Structure 1
Amino acid sequence: MPSSQHRRRKSSTTNLGDLPSFLENSPFFIPFSNEESPAQSVPKPTFSQLVRSKNAQALLAFLVGVFLFWYLMPRKGDISYEALGRWGLLHGGGAQCLYDPKALVAVPNITDLGTKEYEGLDWEKLAYVTYVTHKDVLCNSVMLFESLDRLGSRAKRVMLIPDTEEFRTEDYSSRSAQEDATVKRLLKLAESKYGVKLVRMRIIRKQLGFQMWAASYSKLHTFSMAEYTRIIILDSDATLLAPLDELFLLPPSTATMPRAYWLDKPTLASHIMVITPSAAEFARVQKEIDKAGLGVYDMEIVNALYGATCNVLPHKPYALLTGEFRRAKDKHTAYLSPGEVWDANQVKKEARLVHFSDYPMPKPWEGISQNDVKASRPACVKTEGGEDCSDRDVWRGFYREFRERRMEVCGLESMAWWGSNPNY
């Protein structure tokens, strides 16, 4: 017969299953055998518990990471807007319209300006606009209008000029007689020979760091010119190689601009813009100008205003930079189409507008030493048959042609560059 002490022990251990688990092995309880311990049942985990477990969450995170890496990794030759958009949306930077492949407009491939596609256009309501902020760049605008005239463009031509004494042809008291005569002659040339309408504007200038861009806000006056239904704005530091009238056939949009392909961050370029002006739109633009701070110029403003909704103009062939020809042969991926091989002569043949942007090279009407030109010019590439200097030849041709046309159109010499040396 079991002793009373044993009976008490068995009685005390019978209900151990009701104790908290952390007390089951407590030294304050008398040890017992498995036979004496009640069976412990462990419930199966629910689906919800399995999903919330650390192992399941770690596995899910790994699978998501693998998928994102596969989806976002650029494929061979994949430099499309869609690919840029994948990264841009992930990192949340740049002009949002560049992330949408549908924003890239299809420009009509029309070289004959007399075709039926242009018959429905009201040319009185369409215009090219350039802007002049200083007398030193006045000739550049005249040269652009000469090109438009020579190429047969039918749209109106407007030059925005400062409403300042410097550009008042009736008052030359503060400048030398030669400068007075040059300004007057070029303004008259633009009006009488190339049919340019001169529109005076208030120069918008802010002391915000880089003074070369301090007056760039002035081009944004164009958004107020509601007498036109569509305007093509051109910076004057460019060479026009072909007519751009096909851009008037683009789908309706407040602003259509090319991608600044030379920048890492998806950004819209402002040296050529196709816009629909209105009083309401100019009010929005003016508001952005008024609050612009350090480092905010025309390009930043148009990206802030239209980066989410604009149509995108193909940068090839409408936004070629002269600096592109100074890159190495394998560094043209951003400009070229997927799978395309760089050919300087072919690129020039296809280009319609070339923008002189070539740091540290100055603009083609400014001065530079021969040594600096030699240090900056594109390099020749060694080939099996000798040397390929096509990049240098095309690049040099842009600058030489600009200087020659400056003399031909405006009667002005550019500042000294390379003198008579043809091998700069």
Structure 2
Amino acid sequence: MGRLLLSQGQVTVVLSSGLIALFTLLLFLAGYVHQQQTVTGLQTALKPRLPKPPPSIIEANQQPVQPPIQPSRILGSKNKNGGHVAFTDFSASTSDAAARVDWTRLAHVQVVRNHHDMCNAIMVLADLHRLKSPARRVLLFPQVWATEKKAGRGDASDPYLDISRRLMKVAARRYGVELRPISPFLQGAEAAGEDEMYSLASAFALTDFDRIMSIETAGLILDAEPLDAVLAFTEAAPFAMLHDTVDGDGIHLDDLFLLQPSKDVYHDLQQTLSDQQPFNDTLLTTAFPDPLLISTSSPDHTLIRSIGLLHGVEVPFNATAFLSDVSYIRFSDPKLPGPEFEVPWADKVAARPKNKDADWTWTKLYGEFEMKRMEVCGLGLEMWRD
């Protein structure tokens, strides 16, 4: 049998082909590994964040140390020992308790009563989406906005309706917000389109949820995890609100509501509040004889803090601490009408905190709100008219 002899050129071709095949295989394997790492990273980034449960859920025999109960400054005379206060330790260790929660039955809800409130409500829901809250996000709006047809040329129509509809579409598509139209809460009201006729009480009819939380706008959510923990792990009660103890801190009972939907409660509220004119959601605090009060703070965390506190700070002021241990900054500023308004420059300068460091934080927060308003809603500030 004759031997097959390869020429020098053929050997070169074989070696070159082998090297090309080897490097192609290595390049493929490197790309595959990088792809898997990228997919894993994306899955981690998109996975909802689960809040830490309080110690009472982790270890039933180890209750957190609770501060002395101070009476509510509004309900103190009605509730013995200051009322039934629910405490949450926001520094609790991790547990699989959060993984066992059915987050599809929990929701953060915002009620929009007029076009002016639309952007503020969507900004809160957008913050929850950005911070990967595992609970659902729901926007309640007047049903007439969904049924009213777009006016033709020359027809009289609501000039802001198209803007609100556009914002709702953006909220649904970009931030996973569920849009739900609601009827006026008090059916006997003469003017169904007025602000006070639409209420968070309508959320009691949403029986596809076990629990609903609503926070007052306007504001910025800095840390959604404690809000989710309160939503998921607060003890069962038909209605809960903030434990308001300090006068002048800018925080009020109706800044946060936590409720359990129930058709019976919904119908009872319609009968109880039907003669209350004018009606607003503050009246919900009087409709329940023994509401659960949610503690606004723990040794390590504050649930809601008012930007108005910056006007009364003392030297020295720790700006890092002011922003690092709080979930929600509420723009309840006694010196300005709201962060969504453009006020005259002289009035804004006069409203600035006297403390230099507090002024920097105050200016920073107002600037962040303005930028986020443009980012989320595509809207600039509104002109303020006295």
Same topology, TM > 0.5: yes
Unaligned runs of 5+ in 1: 1-79, 207-212, 331-340, 381-388, 418-424
Show the counterpart of 2:364.
397
Show the counterpart of 1:131.
111
User: How far off is 1:345 after superposition?
Assistant: 2.9
Q: Please state if 1:378 is matched with 2:353.
A: yes
Partner SS for 2:294 = strand
Partner SS for 1:192 = helix
Classify 1:253/1:289 alpha carbon distance in 2 versus 1 (closer, same or farther; 3 Å).
same
Q: Distance in 2 between matches of 1:410 and 1:328?
A: 33
Show the counterpart of 1:109.
91
- Cα displacement string for residues 171-198 of structure 1 (whole angstroms, at most 9, x for unaligned residues): 2456779845422321111111211111
Q: Is the 8 A contact 1:205 1:215 kept in 2?
A: no
Q: Which runs of 4+ in 1 moved over 6 A?
A: 175-178
Q: Distance in 2 between matches of 1:324 and 1:255?
A: 28
Partner SS for 1:361 = coil
Q: Is the 8 A contact 1:224 1:282 kept in 2?
A: yes
Q: Distance in 2 between matches of 1:93 and 1:272?
A: 18
User: How far off is 1:214 after superposition?
Assistant: 5.2
Classify 1:246/1:105 alpha carbon distance in 2 versus 1 (closer, same or farther; 3 Å).
same
Partner SS for 1:260 = coil
Q: Is the 8 A contact 2:86 2:292 kept in 1?
A: no
Q: Report 1:27-66 matches (<5 A).
A: none
* RCO comparison, higher one (Cα < 8 Å, 6+): 2
Match of 1:230 among 198, 208, 211: 211
Q: Please state if 1:290 is matched with 2:274.
A: yes
Classify 1:153/1:218 alpha carbon distance in 2 versus 1 (closer, same or farther; 3 Å).
same
Q: Please state if 1:171 is matched with 2:146.
A: no
Classify 1:216/1:111 alpha carbon distance in 2 versus 1 (closer, same or farther; 3 Å).
farther
- Cα displacement string for residues 248-305 of structure 1 (whole angstroms, at most 9, x for unaligned residues): 122212223212345379x9611212221111222332233213246x6422x23323
Q: Distance in 1 between matches of 2:169 and 2:330?
A: 26
Show the counterpart of 1:43.
none
Q: Distance in 2 between matches of 1:193 and 1:129?
A: 17
Q: Distance in 2 between matches of 1:121 and 1:378?
A: 43
- Give the TM-score normalised by structure 1: 0.63
Q: Is the 8 A contact 2:307 2:329 kept in 1?
A: yes
Q: Report 1:253-332 matches (<5 A).
A: 253-263=237-247, 269-293=253-277, 297-299=280-282, 301-306=283-288, 308-315=290-297, 317-329=302-314
Show the counterpart of 1:197.
178
Partner SS for 1:308 = coil
User: How far off is 1:235 after superposition?
Assistant: 2.4
- Cα displacement string for residues 354-390 of structure 1 (whole angstroms, at most 9, x for unaligned residues): 111112411111231111112222112xxxxxxxx22
What amino acid maps onto 2:242 in structure 1? P
- Please provide the CA RMSD for this pair: 3.4
What amino acid maps onto 1:171 in structure 2? K
Q: How many residues align?
A: 304
What amino acid maps onto 1:155 in structure 2? A
What amino acid maps onto 2:211 in structure 1? R
Q: Distance in 2 between matches of 1:361 and 1:281?
A: 37
Show the counterpart of 1:351.
326
Q: Please state if 1:250 is matched with 2:234.
A: yes
Partner SS for 2:104 = helix
User: How far off is 1:93 after superposition?
Assistant: 5.0
- Give the TM-score normalised by structure 2: 0.69
What amino acid maps onto 1:308 in structure 2? D
User: How far off is 1:215 after superposition?
Assistant: 2.1
Rg: which structure is higher? 1
Q: Please state if 1:96 is matched with 2:75.
A: no
Q: Distance in 2 between matches of 1:285 and 1:343?
A: 44
Match of 1:415 among 374, 382, 386: 382
Q: Distance in 2 between matches of 1:220 and 1:97?
A: 26
Classify 1:359/1:403 alpha carbon distance in 2 versus 1 (closer, same or farther; 3 Å).
same
Q: Distance in 2 between matches of 1:378 and 1:367?
A: 18
- Cα displacement string for residues 121-156 of structure 1 (whole angstroms, at most 9, x for unaligned residues): 111111110011111221122211211111111111
The percent of aligned pairs where both chains have the same amino acid is 21
Classify 1:187/1:170 alpha carbon distance in 2 versus 1 (closer, same or farther; 3 Å).
farther
- Cα displacement string for residues 73-118 of structure 1 (whole angstroms, at most 9, x for unaligned residues): xxxxxxx764547x99xxx955516714x62322443697xx5221
